[in-house]
Amino acid sequence: MEDEISLHDLTLRITPKMVRDAQGNEKKALVGHLGTHFDVMDKEFPLDYCVRPGITFDVSAAAQADREVGVDDVDLSRVESGMFVAFRTGFIEEEDYGSRRYFTEHPQLSVELLERLMDLRVSMVGVDFAGVRRGREHTPMDQRLADQGIFVIENLCNLQELARAKGPATVYTFPMSYEGVTGLPCRVVAKI
């Protein structure tokens, strides 16, 4: 008997209230940066990135301890070049998307961890919160990653099943075809 294949939508479903809240608390929460999106910076999203092997790390213990997610919280030996690497903190499940706290007090990935992911040449880093770094560090780190061919996908949800998966999933990412913006809304679906 064949193993059962299941599809999981990792895209945040946006409601009118979420739009109002986000636009009231985050100046960039417009078309390109609303809900699940990636920060394209000054790069073009390669079409071959639409389908990637993916892995999700459950790093909720680090987030609950109110510390940065670091290299000791994940098994980087499982990460391969070109992968979509996601981090589940549970923050999007606890805090309403669009709130001030959602944008200003979210978890962060340590600079050391991000540098290791650059060294491993992953293609995408996905998080279930508003950015891999906060405040003034957000945009420069997104640019640094983009300069290495790595896109950051923010505001993912439903990562629990992927974090429990024994092997890599296949992650499908389909961005809108906008030009001249720093963020692109996208639909992200994983197949386990």
CATH number, residue 94: 3.50.30.50
- Sorting pLDDT into bands at 50, 70 and 90, what band is 1? very low
Number of domains in the chain: 1
Q: How far apart are CA 143 and CA 39, in angstroms?
A: 8
- Checking if the pLDDT of 30 tops 50, the result is yes
The size of the chain, in residues, is: 192
For the stretch 108-144, pLDDT in tens is 999 999 999 999 999 999 999 999 999 999 999 999 9
Q: How far apart are CA 172 and CA 142, in angstroms?
A: 21
Q: How far apart are CA 35 and CA 102, in angstroms?
A: 12
Q: How far apart are CA 190 and CA 21, in angstroms?
A: 28
Q: What is the mean pLDDT of the chain?
A: 88
For the stretch 38-73, pLDDT in tens is 887 778 889 999 999 999 999 999 988 889 999 999
Residue type for 77, please?
S
Share of the chain above pLDDT 70, in %: 90
Q: 132-163 b/e with 16+ CB inside 10 Å = b? A: bbbeeebeebbebbbeeebbbbbbbbbbeebb
Q: How far apart are CA 109 and CA 87, in angstroms?
A: 9
The answer to whether position 1 is within a domain reads no
- In the predicted model, what is the mean pLDDT of residues 93-101? 90
pTM, whole model, 2 decimals? 0.88
The answer to whether position 2 is within a domain reads no
- Checking if the pLDDT of 5 tops 80, the result is no
- Name the helix (H) or strand (E) containing 84: strand 84-88
Q: Find the angle CA(154)-CA(58)-CA(112) to the nearest 5 degrees.
A: 70
- Cα radius of gyration rounded to whole Å, the chain: 15
- In the predicted model, what is the mean pLDDT of residues 176-188? 83
Q: Copy the structure tokens of residue 187.
A: 């639909």
- Checking if the pLDDT of 33 tops 70, the result is no
Distances (CA, A) of 78 to 56, 57, 70, 84, 128: 10, 10, 15, 12, 20
The answer to whether position 57 is within a domain reads yes
Structural domain that includes position 167: 7-191
